[in-house]
Amino acid sequence: MKVSYTWLKRYVPELPEASMLEDVFTQHLCEVESVEKKSEEEFLFDLGILPNRAHDLLSHEGVARELSGLLGLPYKDPNTYVAPEVRKTILQITVESELCRRYMGRIVRGVTVGPSPEWLVQALTSIGQRSINTIVDATNLVMFDCGQPTHAFDLQKISGEALTIRAARSGEKMTTLGGVSLGNSDAVGDHTGSEIELTESNLVIADAAGVLALAGVKGGNKAEVDTTTTDIVIEVANFDPVSVRKTARKNNLLTESAKRFENDLSPELATHAMHKLSSLIAKLCPEAQFEECIDIYPNPHAVREVSFSLDAVSRILGMKIEPEQAEKILMQYGYSYTRADDRMSTDSAGAHADTVFVLQVPPLRLDLVGTHDIAEEFGRIIGYDAIEPELLIRLNMPQKNEAYEHMRAARQKLLSEGYREVMTYSFAKKGKISVARGAKGKEFLRTNLSDGLREAYERNRLNAPLLGLSEIKLFEIGTVFPTEKIENTEGRGEVGGVEEIHVAYVDKKELVEKTVEEFSHNLPPVTADAIETGEKNNAGEAFDKKDFSHEQESDSKTETFVPWSIYPFISRDIAVWVTDTESEKKLETILATFAQTYCVRPPQMFDTFSKDGRTSVAFRLVFQAMDRTLTDSEVETWFAELVSLIAKETTMEIR
Amino acid sequence: MGSMDMQKPDLDNTPDVDTFSTKGSQHPLSILMQEAYQALTPLGFEIASGPELEDQWHNFDALNVPKDHPARDMQDTFYIKNSPEHVLRTHATSTTARMLKKAADKKLTQAAYVSIGKVFRNEATDATHEMQFFQIDGCMIGEDISLAHMKGVLLELYRHVLGSDVEIEFRPSFFPFTEPSVEVHAKFNGRWLEMMGGGMIHPQVLKNAGYDPEKIRGFAFGGGLDRIAMIKWNIPDVRLFYAGDVRLNQF
Are the beta carbons of A375 and B180 separated by less than 8 Å? yes
Q: Chain A closest CA to B222's CA: distance in Å?
A: 18
Instruction: Residue A460: list chain B partners with CB under 8 A.
Output: 244-246
Query: Does residue B59 belong to the interface with chain A, where contact is any CB pair within 8 Å?
Result: no
Task: Please list, in sequence order, all residues whose beta carbon lies within 8 angstroms of the beta carbon of residue B153, skipping any fewer than 6 positions away.
Answer: A391, A392, B40, B43, B140, B219, B221
Give me the long-range contacts of A617-620 (CB less than 8 A, separation at least 24): A617/A575, A617/A576, A617/A578, A617/A584, A617/A587, A618/A573, A618/A574, A618/A575, A618/A576, A618/A655, A619/A573, A619/A574, A619/A575, A619/A576, A619/A591, A620/A465, A620/A571, A620/A572, A620/A573
CA pair distance B134, A221, nearest whole angstrom: 49
Residue pairs spanning A and B at CB distance below 8 A: 343
Query: Element (H or E) spanning B142, and its range?
Result: strand B132-142
The predicted pLDDT at position B6 comes to 45
At B107-118, the pLDDT tens digits run 999 999 999 999
The string of pLDDT tens digits covering residues B153-212 is 999 999 999 999 999 999 999 999 999 999 999 999 999 999 999 999 999 999 999 999
Instruction: Check if B16 contacts A (Cβ < 8 Å).
Output: yes
What is the rounded CA–CA span in Å between residue B214 and residue B180?
16
CA distance A277 to A282: 8
Chain centroid offset of residue A491 CA: 26
Q: Determine the residue of chain B that is closest to A547 in CA distance.
A: B23
Q: Is A100:A165 a contact under the CB 8 Å cutoff?
A: yes
Q: Which of A370, A391, A495 sits opposite B51 (nearest CB)?
A: A495
Which residues of B fall within a CB distance of 8 Å from A463? 245, 247
Sequential DSSP letters for A37-75 = E-SSS-EEEEEE--GGGTTT-SSHHHHHHHHHHHHT---
Helix (H) or strand (E) holding A124: helix A118-126
Beta-bridge mates of residue A617: A576, A608
Q: Within 13 Å of residue B66, how many CA atoms lie on the same side as its CB? A: 5
Closest CA to B230 of B133, B123, B107, B95: B133
**CB proximity list for B191: less than 8 A, separation 6 or greater:** none
Pick among B246, B249, B251 to test the A interface (most A CBs inside 10 A)? B246
Residue A468: the pLDDT is 76
Closest residue to A316, CB basis, from B6, B146, B251: B146
Tens of pLDDT, residues A258-300: 999 998 999 999 999 999 999 999 999 999 999 999 999 999 9
B80, A433: Cβ pair inside 8 Å? yes
Looking at residue A348, what is its pLDDT?
Answer: 65
Q: B-chain residues within 8 Å CB-CB of A644?
A: 2
List Cα–Cα distances, A457 to A19, A420, B232, in angstroms.
54, 11, 28
CA distances (Å), origin B117, targets A50, A237, A433, A437: 27, 46, 20, 23
Return the exposure string of A200-215: e unless at least 16 CB atoms fall within 10 Å of the residue's CB, then b. eebbbbbbeeebbbbb
Whole-number pLDDT of residue A470: 76
- Residue B182: which H helix or E strand, with range? strand B178-188
Q: Which residue of B has its CA nearest to A397?
A: B44
Angle at alpha carbon of residue B203, lines to B197 and B206, rounded to 5°: 90
Contact assessment for residue A109 and residue A279, using Cβ atoms and an 8 Å cutoff: no
Contact A491, B85 (CB under 8 A): yes
Amino acid at A196: I
For A566, residues 6+ apart whose C-beta sits below 8 A from its C-beta are: none
Taking contacts as CB-CB distances below 8 angstroms, the residues of chain B near A373 are 179
Chain A interface includes B205 (CB < 8 A): no
Q: Residue B174 is nearest to which of A50, A493, A600, comparing CB atoms?
A: A50
Is A435 close to B152, i.e. CB distance below 8 A? no
Interface of B with A in 118-147 (CB under 8 A): 118, 120, 122, 131-132, 140, 142-147
Cβ-Cβ contacts under 8 Å for A531 (sequence gap 6 or more): A543, A545, A548
Note the pLDDT of residue A526: 67
Query: Which pLDDT score, from 0 to 100, does residue A344 have?
Result: 84
- Cβ contacts (< 8 Å) between A552 and chain B: which residues? none
Interchain contact B159–A (C-beta under 8 A)? no
Return the closest-CA partner of residue B114 out of B210, B212, B13, B219.
Answer: B219
List beta partners, residue A23. none
Could you give the angle at the alpha carbon of A433 between the alpha carbons of A432 and A438, nearest 5°? Answer: 125
Contact criterion met (CB below 8 Å) for A378 and A326: yes
Instruction: Output A644 or B235, whichever has higher pLDDT.
Output: B235
SS3 call for A257: helix
Compare CB distances from A486 to B2, B86, B155 and report the shortest one's residue: B86
- Nearest by CB to residue A479, choosing from B2, B13, B52, is B52
Assess B151–A contact: CB distance below 8 Å, yes or no: yes
> What local confidence, expressed as pLDDT, does residue B71 receive?
59
Q: List the single residue in A385, A470, A593 with the smallest CB-CB distance to B20.
A: A470
The amino acid sitting at B10 is D
Closest approach of chain A CAs to the CA of B22, in angstroms?
5
**Is B9's CB within 8 Å of A623's CB?**
yes
With CB atoms and an 8 Å threshold, state whether B55 touches A600.
no
pLDDT at position A490, please? Answer: 40
Residues of chain A with pLDDT under 70: 179-192, 348-349, 395-396, 487-497, 525-558
Q: Which residue of A401, A550, A564 is in closest CB contact with B49?
A: A401
Sheet with B111-120, edge to edge strand ranges:
B46-47, B111-120, B132-142, B217-224, B191-201, B178-188, B167-172
Instruction: Choose, out of A352, A435, A494, the residue to mutate when testing the contact with B (most B CBs < 10 Å).
Output: A435
CB nearest to B172's CB, from A28, A419, A593: A28
The closest CB to that of B149, out of A318, A439, A486, belongs to A318
Contact yes or no for B152 and A390 at CB 8 A: yes
Residue B4 has pLDDT above 50, yes or no: no
Q: With an 8 Å Cβ cutoff, are A398 and B44 in contact?
A: yes
